[in-house]
Amino acid sequence: MATPTATWTTDELMEVNAARALAGARTCFVGIGLPSTAANLARNTVNPGLVLIYESGAIGSKPARLPLSIGDGELAETADTVVSVPEMFSYWLQAGRIDVGFLGAAQLDRYANINTTVIDRGPDKPEGRLPGAGGAPEIAANCGEVLIVLRHSPRNFVGELDFVTSVGHGSGPDDRRRLGLRGKGPTAVITDLGVLRPDPATAELVLTELHPGATVEQVRAATGWELKTADAIGTTAEPTAGELTALRALKAPGKAGR
């Protein structure tokens, strides 16, 4: 992982950089967990006008703490409006009215396809059941673009998914068009080591930025395929004092939703 300092942790570095990725977005369909942390932090820092949208039907939520789930009452209580789940999916999501979808993953492959359904635990062992799809396949298919945030390890970044829950770029650059998926698909994967983006020609994820203290060797060792790197790898900026204060306020005792 990136080297933590006395000022920030590697998780905070990841969450701050994930929030920064939302700086130019108008609307964001938010997954629970790390995506919700990043999206709420973005609304409190780089993008105060960001409209947070949750699968339960809450549009324009402004929670003071991280929600426990998509059914957390504060999402509805602080929302601009609440619509039914069928309307959320048919009118808002499937019609392409949402700029960014922000998702997590249990497994991710080189084309940013996501598994959140089941893990193969090996011979003579039962499958490891995960939370499942929820709205993630529709988010991945229909938002203008998709951001993904997860911790970087060989367990998470795999050569082959045990199950494809949500399509990223399929098996290459033409798959989304062939499947009739409207959005750009995943445009960035933010981890605790750096940032990966799809190659314009192949759609395969490429390391484009490292977090402070992380190395290319660390990222490659934590990736289950032969990871390619950009010709010039950038370095992300350290979290500012203001970003850290806002992030820690969201996670403060009595407020944490994770």
Catalytic residues: 55
Q: At what angle do helices 10-20 and 34-44 cross, to 10 degrees?
A: 60
Show the 3-state SS of 52-67: EECCCCEECCCCCCCC
Return d(Cα 209, Cα 227) in angstroms, integer.
Answer: 13
Contact 210, 236 (CB under 8 A): yes
Query: For strand 100-103 and strand 81-82, is the pairing parallel, antiparallel, or unpaired?
Result: unpaired
Tokens for 64? 């003071």
247-to-101, 144, 145, 258 alpha-carbon distances in Å: 20, 26, 24, 13
- Supply the DSSP symbol for 258: -
Return d(Cα 249, Cα 65) in angstroms, integer.
Answer: 8
Q: Where are the beta strands (DSSP E) in the chain?
A: 27-30, 51-53, 58-59, 81-82, 100-103, 107-108, 114-115, 118-119, 128-129, 145-149, 186-190, 194-198, 205-210, 228-235
